[in-house]
């Protein structure tokens, strides 16, 4: 029996270490809940939990692990890597969408009357890009002196590059799809939604489809390689994107549930 005591002690120590580690799980990112609260996301893939609340009454929110952006009534905030507010601007008009650059630490806020480009050093305001009748902007990204717009019209998604200073535009690519929302991801990977389906379009044009089982209400980056997905039946998911985007065939996606407290 004496030989069992050290074994039990070691097992107890391992359990206590695991419990303490769980209590101190790293902060992965941030997500917006249905009530407008922003909470931190902690844990590991498949065992997520929600941490501290960092904001309330938020309309739109996106965070990619390095920077983020969120909008409240009449204002927009640029966020740093720990979710801290680095810059605040006053906005005019209804917010139509937000976006993060896929290649630099820049955020975008589009309202009915203006387009903001935000980063840690500056905040620039521009006119809203012109659209033809029947067109709508479903996603926004960019870098430097241009923005990339995902424009949807009659089942066609067109990626248009718009230079902010000159107002000139260039169509980069188009593909069929009745997209509701579009998220630009690193290395020319694109996520778009249609009904119940998440469509992950790789850089080589190949695609992955993930069925959420219910109409998708919103998608937004919440951490590095994690996208927050909400559905019409009040479920919340993390879409985990894996693989090397430089080698498109290796890119894959898996839908993981978020805790019930996310509702």
Question: Residues 198-224: pLDDT tens digits?
Answer: 999 999 999 999 999 999 999 999 999
Q: Mean pLDDT over residues 8-15, rounded?
A: 39
What predicted TM-score, i.e. pTM, was given to this entire model?
Answer: 0.88
Please report which helix (H) or strand (E) contains residue 6, including its range. Answer: helix 4-23
pLDDT of 5 over the 80 cut: no
The fraction of the chain above a pLDDT of 70, given in percent, is 89
Question: Residues 28-79: pLDDT tens digits?
Answer: 999 999 999 999 999 988 899 999 999 999 999 999 999 999 999 999 999 9
pLDDT of residue 57: 97
Q: Which of 147, 247, 252, 242 is nearest to 187 (CA)?
A: 247
Q: Which two tokens stand for residue 178?
A: 């009745």
pLDDT of 85 over the 50 cut: yes
Q: How many CB atoms lie within 10 A of CB 161?
A: 14
96 neighbors 111 (Cβ within 8 angstroms): yes
- Specify the higher pLDDT residue, 11 or 254: 254
pLDDT of 20 over the 90 cut: no
Identify any residues that bridge with 152 across adjacent strands, giving them in sequence order: 136, 157
- 174/159 Cα distance (integer angstroms): 6
The CATH label, of 1.20.120.160, 2.130.10.10, 3.100.10.20, 3.30.428.10, for the domain at 27-262 is 2.130.10.10
Domain ranges of the chain: 27-262
């Amino acid at each position: 029996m004496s030989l069992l005591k050290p074994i039990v002690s070691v097992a107890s120590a391992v359990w206590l270490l695991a419990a303490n580690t769980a209590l101190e799980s790293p902060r992965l990112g941030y997500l917006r809940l249905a009530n407008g609260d922003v909470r931190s996301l902690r844990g590991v893939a498949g065992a997520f939990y929600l941490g501290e609340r960092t904001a309330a009454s938020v309309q739109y929110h996106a965070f990619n692990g390095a920077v983020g952006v969120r909008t409240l009534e009449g204002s927009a905030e640029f966020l740093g890597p720990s979710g801290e507010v680095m810059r605040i601007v006053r906005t005019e008009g209804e917010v139509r969408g937000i976006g993060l650059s896929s290649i630099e630490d820049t955020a975008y806020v589009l309202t009915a009357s203006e387009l903001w480009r935000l980063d840690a050093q500056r905040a620039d305001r521009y006119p809203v890009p012109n659209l033809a009748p029947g067109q709508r902007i479903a996603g926004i990204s960019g870098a430097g002196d241009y923005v990339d717009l995902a424009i949807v019209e009659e089942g066609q998604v067109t990626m248009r590059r718009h230079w902010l200073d000159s107002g000139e535009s260039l169509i980069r690519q188009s593909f069929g799809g009745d997209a509701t929302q579009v998220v630009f991801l690193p290395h020319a990977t694109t996520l778009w939604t249609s009904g119940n389906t998440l469509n992950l379009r790789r850089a080589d044009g190949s695609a992955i489809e993930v069925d959420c089982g219910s109409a998708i209400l919103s998608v937004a980056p919440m951490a590095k390689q994690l996208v927050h997905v909400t559905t019409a039946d009040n479920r919340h998911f993390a879409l985990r994107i894996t693989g090397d985007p430089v080698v498109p065939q290796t890119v894959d996606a898996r839908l993981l549930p978020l805790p019930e407290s996310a509702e």
